[in-house]
Structure 1
Amino acid sequence: MIEKEVNPHFEDFLFDWRHKFYFLVGGYGSSKSYHVALKLVLKLLEEKRTALVIREVYDTIRDSCFALFEEICVEMELDEKIKFVSSPMQIRFPNGSKIIFKGMDKPAKLKSIHNVSIIWIEECSEVKYAGFKELIGRLRHPTLPLHMILSTNPVSTANWCYKYFFKDKANVVLDDEELYRDRVVIVKNTYYHHSVADDNLFLPLSYIEQLDELKVHDPDLHRVARQGRFGVNGRLVLPQFEEWPHDKVMEAIRGIKSPVRRSGMDFGFEDSYNALLRVTVDHKEKILYIHWEYYKNKMTDDRTAAEIIEFKKSRELIRADSAEPKTIAFYRQMGFNMQPAKKFQGSRAQYTKKIKRFKKIICSSNCPNTIAELKELTYAVDKQGDIIEDEFSIDPHTFSAIWYALDDYEVADLKGYAATVGNKSALGVR
């Protein structure tokens, strides 16, 4: 017997197995992922089962779900009894239970899985609806009750998980306002659970204060991170974007104690543009400064190389679009210090989310093309008028250049920070 303290708001959820679907939605730091993982550990210790843990991108699982299970088992002093296999990732229990980890970016590997009676879809809003339907088909066992757990931070009401579990234009399953009010709601075979940072008694006050600050500089993110609510996202992609006189920008940059300086380049020719930007980050204040741009099209690579010769002379690193390896090879042969930026499935959405985490994005008046593209950059919408979260109304080449420039830099992710300070022991040890 190992006694643990749990966050009271999750006590009922931990031991409830009466329903097929469990839908957990909430703000950053609420400890919902921690309690889902704990719920699975307790169940698989009790019964011999095979559980499948899913994220959209397989490579994100090791540092999130897999690490979370390891942490919980160490806290419960079960790490000598439960075996963690790193390749392929699996967790094996002494009674024959096991947890398998898969990504929807490798759907062919789902076909070899059998007798799965529990599925956890972490960050379910990132999984496509077709993938969700595919997983329902994989949930089958000849004798055991079947369960699917879905956890997410709220996103746009245009996302499939909102339309499926709450309401779309033709059907209302549950009014999400009712869930925000009652916190736990059961509708037919679905258990709904809503949580916010205040439900995690192990979060420091300073973290909650950071969430509260979002209300000023990013109301949309405040709605998601602090209130844990779905909503129609504002059409502006970067509501915190500001234009400053060049001298004022450079003065602010000179005042940064440890500036992070980066350069990024997007390639174009006929209708698109070569966009090369210099940016500087104030990591402490979470401010991104954009202070130099090169922006031209219908330029051959040799002409562009001649016009940006200062980068060759200074050996300043340029991170560039990896979709153009021949172009990068040309610049390297010409003596430029150029490296391909990382691209992966879902990288457009992930890079956009990263840039949106800055409290302020301040652009020099000397960068008119960047201002033209980003100051009023809006999301693209589908035929129903709903926002498409990784597409925009224009092709913003300067935005891509910023993605590439910062591909190895992480803005302090409030959600990730919560995983280390709030979820480290959401249960605690008596």
Structure 2
Amino acid sequence: MIEKEVNPHFEDFLFDWQHKYYFLVGGYGSSKSYHVALKLILKLLEEKRTALVIREVYDTIRDSCYSLFEDICTDLGLDGRIRFVTSPMQIRFPNGSKIIFKGMDKPVKLKSIHNVSIIWIEECSEVKYEGFKELIGRLRHPTLKLHMILSTNPVSTANWCYKFFFRDRKKNIFALDDEQLYKDRIVVVNDTMYHHSVADDNLFLPPSYIEQLEELKQHDPDLYRVARKGRFGVNGKLVFPQFEEWPHEAVLEAVQRIRNPIDRAGMDFGFEESYNALLRLTVDHDAKILYIHWEYYRNQMTDDRTAEDITEFKEAGELIRADSAEPKTIQFFKQMGFRMRAAKKFAGSRLQYTKKVKRFKKIICSSNCPNTVNELKDLTYAVDKAGDIIEDQFNIDPHTLSAIWYALDDYEVADLKGAGVSFRR
């Protein structure tokens, strides 16, 4: 019989073994790692199992997960029954259960592990997606039910763990709205239990710790969101804070109401890692609103196949302004009967084109353009070593933004103070 006072918010998680995946996300000091370790100890005392504990870097395990298990076992009076081995790092239980510790920076050592029925990935957001898939393959046992526990502080919505367990716009995958998790705190979807926690859920924290977290609200909003609120979001300064996603029908209705619409199409070329990105835009010059309502977004496509996909532009005689860095490609499309011309590029054009797009009061994108939404909604600036933003570099390579740059060639957004400027359609 073991008696241990635990935080009430973790009681359901602690004794639940009905699901394959357990995804715990929370702020600093919420005690999520503590309760994962306690959950494993209780399970391995009850059943003979082999558990694998993973962090991205092996050398970080001894002072984190391993020492946490030691502290809990000492607190429970189990240090005489449970044996801690330092080389190789293991924990052995009297019934034959054991915990093995590995780092993803030494993946070759995973190949010798067999009959693992439980895996705990601590700080899973630091592990690469390829590593996560490798671990799924290592989770196997002929008779026992399999479980994977993932714990993390929230990071950017661009991280793989957010895309896998919540939403991946690019792949059109939706599992759970993270806002629902923040509201309900514990949610079960299919074979996954989601668990959200913050410092207030840890009744053993001193009030001074929470006060320190509250102080982040003024001088570091990004860290406050992560540390205090335990929420995913965008890390860094948004390039287009005025970007909005609307239902497709609502965008078309808004475009139809524009008195003098300016219709444009722009194309960025790519093949292997990059993408052919072709967008249709409509500008409301008077209201200073940019509407994005059609996209073509594919890679590993030869020019002849792409020409077949976008033949409607040729049939309509619609002008495409394209990347001038690919003159041979532009010439090919011209020979195929497309109206296509090179957009101007010059030293500093990336910065100037980005500033042009930022001058729109609103950038409204159709829900039928998921790749544009995926690239631009949470697009942030890259930063230098001093932490200062680099105004013409971003956290990703946004091909749809390049397409917008080219589409707006020879167009200037009016000064927001009201000064008009000339433009060509």
Q: TM-score per shorter chain, which class?
A: 0.5 to 0.7
How far did residue 375 of structure 1 move? 3.8
Give the 5 Å matches for 1:229-378. 229-235=231-237, 374-377=387-390
How far did residue 380 of structure 1 move? 3.8
Alignment-derived partner of residue 346 in structure 2: none
Structure-2 separation of matches of 1:40 and 1:372: 40
Alignment-derived partner of residue 49 in structure 1: 49
Alignment-derived partner of residue 397 in structure 2: 383
Residue 2 of structure 1 pairs with residue 10 of structure 2: no
How far did residue 28 of structure 1 move? 0.2
Q: Secondary structure of the residue that 2:389 maps to in structure 1? A: coil
Q: Secondary structure of the residue that 2:174 maps to in structure 1? A: coil
How far did residue 377 of structure 1 move? 4.9
Residue 119 of structure 1 pairs with residue 119 of structure 2: yes
- Indicate conservation of the 8 Å contact 2:30/2:199, yes or no: yes
Which protein is bigger by CA-based radius of gyration?
A: 2
Give the 5 Å matches for 1:1-40. 1-40=1-40
Structure-2 separation of matches of 1:123 and 1:371: 25
2:200 to 184, 198, 201: 198
- Report sequence identity in percent: 79
> Residue 164 and residue 94 in structure 1: after superposition, are their counterparts in 2 closer, same or farther (change >3 A)?
same
Alignment-derived partner of residue 102 in structure 1: 102
Structure-1 separation of matches of 2:110 and 2:17: 25
Structure-1 separation of matches of 2:52 and 2:45: 15
Alignment-derived partner of residue 72 in structure 1: 72
- Indicate conservation of the 8 Å contact 2:384/2:390, yes or no: no
After TM superposition, the score normalised by the length of structure 1 is: 0.57
How far did residue 218 of structure 1 move? 0.4
Alignment-derived partner of residue 225 in structure 2: 223
Structure-1 separation of matches of 2:157 and 2:36: 24
How far did residue 2 of structure 1 move? 2.8
Alignment-derived partner of residue 173 in structure 2: 171
Structure-2 separation of matches of 1:159 and 1:103: 19
Q: Secondary structure of the residue that 1:154 maps to in structure 2? A: coil
Structure-1 separation of matches of 2:119 and 2:94: 20
Q: Secondary structure of the residue that 2:210 maps to in structure 1? A: helix
Structure-2 separation of matches of 1:71 and 1:371: 40
Alignment-derived partner of residue 183 in structure 2: 181
> How many matched pairs?
254
Deviations 1:22-62 (A, max 9, x none): 00000000000000000000000000000000000000000
Give the 5 Å matches for 1:149-160. 149-160=149-160
Alignment-derived partner of residue 282 in structure 2: none
Unmatched tracts of structure 1, length 5 or more: 237-369, 387-430
Alignment-derived partner of residue 407 in structure 1: none
Amino acid of the residue matched to residue 214 of structure 2?
A: D
How far did residue 376 of structure 1 move? 3.4
- Indicate conservation of the 8 Å contact 2:23/2:193, yes or no: yes
Q: Secondary structure of the residue that 1:23 maps to in structure 2? A: strand
Amino acid of the residue matched to residue 8 of structure 1?
A: P
After TM superposition, the score normalised by the length of structure 2 is: 0.58
